[in-house]
Structure 1
Amino acid sequence: MKALVLFACLLASVAGSSQAEEKPSRPNILVILADDCTHSDLSFHGGENAKTPNLDAFAKQGTVFERAYVSMAMCAPCRSEFYSGRLPIRNGCAWNQAASRPGTRSMPHYLGELGYRVGLAGKTHIKPATVYPFEEVSGFDENCVREPTLPHSLDGVKRFISRDAAQPFCLVVALTEPHVPWVMGDAGAYPPRSIKLPPNLADTPRTRQDFGRYLAEITYMDGQVGEILKALEDAKLDSNTLVVFSSEQGAQFPGNKWTNYDTGLHTSIVARWPGVVPAGRRTPALVQYADVLPTFIELAGGKPDAAVFDGSSFASVLRGASDKHREFTYGMHNNYPEGPPYPIRSISDGEWRYIRNLTPERTYIEKHLMGRTEHNPYWGSWVFTATENPRHLHLVERFLHRPSEELYHTSEDRFEMKNLAADPAHAEIKARLAKELDRHLADQLDPGVPLDTPAASEAANKLSPLYPGKP
């Protein structure tokens, strides 16, 4: 009899232990977005300069996605893609400063229907409110070009995440660093002469000075990340919260933001969920911002509809069950109103990148980068030194004048400095990527050149011959 009692107690103990260790099926979700941060400038992606102790520790606690991409290297389009699960043409925000098409549904709709509270703190840069009805959470500056950024407070975040223990939450904290102007943080921690500039930037004293100020903002942003994670820990919510960090698109240097190069479209994604997402792991799975919302929906207990989204769930990758997701990621750029029209389309398989410049006869101009000298004085130093420095001349000409086709072996040429499009040895690779890009553009009903015009931009939220799109 005693043996039976002991055996029953043992079973109860094991069952209780199993239940205690079992993870709830629906996590809280916390997203932390940086602003205009080139992924390769972060140390856990190979960056050699920026000091990011909080992100370095966070990366070791979760899974680092080595091949994650946005579809447009501009704030409004990539955030609209992230929140809607639809690529720019389908959600309507295919230009910077544009709005998504009325009727588009997004994260607050889908997760709200699954019982989540869905909030947003900090930068928005998405519209209209009917498409993105996030609960407003106070504490972080919404204006990414304010000089300086307003002081931040964790009070709103703490209230939101702790408000109702019975209801799961999804909170996006959208930081405004390291977006220009680079005025936050301690630039003195980055002496210009000690900086190791990436090879796609011209090495001028002004570039080094401004790059140091940019690095200081990355470190300032890293401090904010640390404070947010500490607030989650203090609330004892870290064990059942999926935390996702992303760096958004590349920084405001030539060849990064507003381009289809890897340093523009490649983003950092790091995910942590203790006991579910493997720690200390790096995955080569190819993912895109449009995949994030379907992933959240699946983790929240829903079933993302493949007919609605351009993305698909990579929950199996998060759980460590797979290192494969997409076969291709797609990129595009419409330059108006950031400058005169200059449409670009691209595709990557994670190893190779194929870029198609639709109007190569034109000169590429980005007015913020090349014209606003109070934010970007380094561009003038590139042009001024190009007379005597052949490498600087090459970088200037590479930025202003582009061929109809570009092909880069990105896995071996990280900064995509050698265009292999005319090399017969790689003709088969180029043809394969070009064929898939054509298929994708047809699927998206992308008209190409007519899309990057003032008329199309003004008709962004209307279905018309200039702006076709799937309902």
Structure 2
Amino acid sequence: MRLSSGLRHWISVGVLLVASPLHANPLHASATAESNAEKSRPNILMIVAEDMSPRVGVYGDALAKTPSIDRLAKEGVIYTNMHTISGVCAPSRSSLVTGVYATSMGTHQMRTSQGRLSETITGYEAVPPPEVKAFPELLRAGGYSTANWAKKDYQFGEPFTLWDVDDGGFWGPIEAALWRRLPDDKPWFVMMNLVSTHESYLVVPGDYPKQWAPFTNILLKERKRTTIAITDPNAVSVPPYLVDSAETRASIAQHYDNIAFMDTQLQSILEALVEDGLDDNTIVIFTTDHGDPFPRAKRAIYDSGTHVPFIIRYPSGEGAGTVETRLTSFVDIAPTVMRWAGLTPPGFIQGQDLVTTAPRKYLFAGRDRMDQVQDRARSVRDERFKLIQNFMSDAPYFRPLVFRDMFPSMQSLWQAQASGQLTEKQAFYFQASRPNYELYDLKADPHEINNLAGKPDYGKELNRLIAALEDWYEQVGDRADVSEREMVFEMWQGESQPETAPPRAKVETLEAGAKAVSLSATTDGASISYKKNSDSWQIYTRPVRLEKTDTLLAKAIRYGYKESEEIAVPTDN
């Protein structure tokens, strides 16, 4: 992609505003920009829908009713090869927010809250390496304010250091102009998570397992309130890995209707941006957290589970309508956002700037435990071929999974399997053993249903991608090399979740009775927040000045640990 002058401006902001490190801690490796440059830093608005492949008009889907996304795409840069690192939300979101592969930091299971380690430990929070920080926290440390709407799902807890404002739920109206709750004197980063396209919104009236019945009843009412039936089930295309039943077609049509409603939510956000006069200084990103909500898409590392829409609109309008075909990964988002914010991405980030760096040669993804169903598979793809390595080849891909099995398209598969009506391609996913390797020609076989791994003509491609996968293991590691229990107890250094120690405070006397309070972490890798008087909690990056009557509270959090107790810093010494 050729960089125009306006686009080069937003890249150069990231070069010009980087200052000297404040502290040795990677959290503070990027200093707050100079005040005259602060005003030039863009706001960044990231809109993340759920469970959706590129079912968008501008991506060539004629059935999709997405006028707002299409308009955004025509005003921005369209990425046609963005892939998540997992086909399910929690591992994917953990990598999105850190720029680190889930398999590398131990957030790869779905979910950690359902990891049964013993009779008494039925969930945990993963503990990433001490240097790993979520990029919203790094933005706050670098002078931004941040806000999040709805879903987080990071797998290492919900550290209080990430967001100035954190609100929203799984249903109900969105707060389109969430940035209005943030201060006017700072640039901001806002992440709006639109849940209306989630798999759960495909429920149909019926009897559900006891633990899910209240949830499904609320979702049915919410969908009736918000969604209009505009898609003809007879017009949808059914992929060959699903059963072409009336129920499956109705479910796919419902997904299109849910997408159409989500498009109106996106429209309300963009209209509020214009209403507030902020569209000329705000970079807008649109994407989804992984692929479609159907079987062998969601929870899978086929392209149906990892390929997502990705659009960037720059405030200058430069690059409008440009199509970028380079391979891009979810781990590339964090360093790109940080560069826009004028901050240097820390060394722990495993992604690369998707604008300024050379294109990737390969993309990687992983699949592990799904709820209580154990699995382990890894994938690598280039622009033409995809390789999947199955580590649990003695078990079928489809096994009973309570939540997924509630939905019509999976029920159609189970019914066809029981009656012997599956096609050969569909039956593959129910076989008691899977091949160690699957190899697909993505150009000739976009649905990835014709395995070429055993064909001699493709031996060269197979060996090349096996080598690429092994190189990736060597570079970033894979925490699934040991059992989940062993991994967690190693993270915890025992059999119970550690607690972050309170920060230490050092008080220095200044002129006229003022004090300077320096805070330091006792727990390796902990982040510190402080609260001065009745102000909001702030990220600690440098000594805090207190006047005679000021008070100061402080607390710390290491990701995956319990947060520390809150301490009142004495200033009378």
TM-score, length of structure 1 as denominator length: 0.82
Aligned residue number for residue 455 of structure 1: 485
Aligned residue number for residue 176 of structure 2: 154
Distance, in Å, in 2 between the alignment partners of 1:456 and 1:276 is: 51
| 1:38-80 superposed Cα distances (whole Å, 9 cap, x missing partner) | 23x2232233422111111111111111111111112111111
1:129 aligns with 2:158: yes
The structure richer in helix per residue is: 1
Match of 2:310 among 259, 269, 275: 269
Aligned residue number for residue 23 of structure 2: none
Aligned residue number for residue 15 of structure 1: none
Aligned residue number for residue 302 of structure 1: 343
Aligned residue number for residue 424 of structure 1: 456
Shift of 1:315: 3.0
Distance, in Å, in 2 between the alignment partners of 1:460 and 1:216 is: 46
Segments of structure 2 that go 5 or more residues without pairing to the other structure are 1-8, 14-38, 113-124, 202-219, 495-524, 526-573
Aligned residue number for residue 342 of structure 1: 375
Relative distance call for 1:130 and 1:218 in structure 2 (3 A) is same
Aligned residue number for residue 13 of structure 1: none
Relative distance call for 1:280 and 1:395 in structure 2 (3 A) is same
Residue type matched to 1:159 in 2? R
Residue type matched to 1:348 in 2? R
Aligned residue number for residue 284 of structure 1: 325
Distance, in Å, in 2 between the alignment partners of 1:377 and 1:387 is: 15
Relative distance call for 1:447 and 1:238 in structure 2 (3 A) is closer
Aligned residue number for residue 179 of structure 1: 198
Shift of 1:275: 2.5
Relative distance call for 1:50 and 1:276 in structure 2 (3 A) is closer
Aligned residue number for residue 47 of structure 2: 32
Q: Residue 327 of structure 1: SS of its match in structure 2?
A: coil
Q: Residue 268 of structure 2: SS of its match in structure 1?
A: helix
Distance, in Å, in 2 between the alignment partners of 1:356 and 1:411 is: 20
Shift of 1:95: 1.2
State the Cα RMSD in Å: 2.7
Shift of 1:135: 2.4
1:213 aligns with 2:213: no
Q: Report matched runs for 1:2-41 at 5 Å.
A: 26-39=41-54, 41=55
Residue type matched to 2:180 in 1? R
Match of 2:280 among 220, 239, 244: 239
Distance, in Å, in 2 between the alignment partners of 1:371 and 1:290 is: 28
1:63 aligns with 2:77: yes
Relative distance call for 1:128 and 1:339 in structure 2 (3 A) is closer
Instruction: Work out whether residues 51 and 288 of structure 2, in 8 Å CA contact, stay in contact via their aligned partners in 1.
Output: yes
1:108 aligns with 2:136: yes
More off after superposition, 426-435 vs 199-208: 199-208
Distance, in Å, in 2 between the alignment partners of 1:399 and 1:268 is: 30
Instruction: Work out whether residues 356 and 406 of structure 1, in 8 Å CA contact, stay in contact via their aligned partners in 2.
Output: yes
Instruction: Work out whether residues 179 and 188 of structure 2, in 8 Å CA contact, stay in contact via their aligned partners in 1.
Output: no
Determine what percentage of the aligned residue pairs are the same residue: 25
Distance, in Å, in 1 between the alignment partners of 2:387 and 2:268 is: 40
Aligned residue number for residue 410 of structure 1: 442
Q: Residue 313 of structure 1: SS of its match in structure 2?
A: coil
Instruction: Work out whether residues 382 and 392 of structure 1, in 8 Å CA contact, stay in contact via their aligned partners in 2.
Output: no
Relative distance call for 1:352 and 1:66 in structure 2 (3 A) is same
Q: Residue 181 of structure 1: SS of its match in structure 2?
A: helix
Distance, in Å, in 2 between the alignment partners of 1:389 and 1:47 is: 33
Q: Residue 282 of structure 1: SS of its match in structure 2?
A: strand
Instruction: Work out whether residues 81 and 91 of structure 1, in 8 Å CA contact, stay in contact via their aligned partners in 2.
Output: no
| 1:380-430 superposed Cα distances (whole Å, 9 cap, x missing partner) | 222323577765453143355531111111133222122111121111111
Aligned residue number for residue 327 of structure 1: 361
Instruction: Work out whether residues 416 and 422 of structure 2, in 8 Å CA contact, stay in contact via their aligned partners in 1.
Output: no
Residue type matched to 1:264 in 2? G
Distance, in Å, in 2 between the alignment partners of 1:270 and 1:229 is: 14
Distance, in Å, in 1 between the alignment partners of 2:293 and 2:434 is: 19
Aligned residue number for residue 296 of structure 2: 255
Of structures 1 and 2, the larger Rg is shown by: 2
Distance, in Å, in 2 between the alignment partners of 1:49 and 1:132 is: 42
Instruction: Work out whether residues 146 and 165 of structure 2, in 8 Å CA contact, stay in contact via their aligned partners in 1.
Output: no
Instruction: Work out whether residues 240 and 447 of structure 2, in 8 Å CA contact, stay in contact via their aligned partners in 1.
Output: yes
* Matched pairs, number: 422
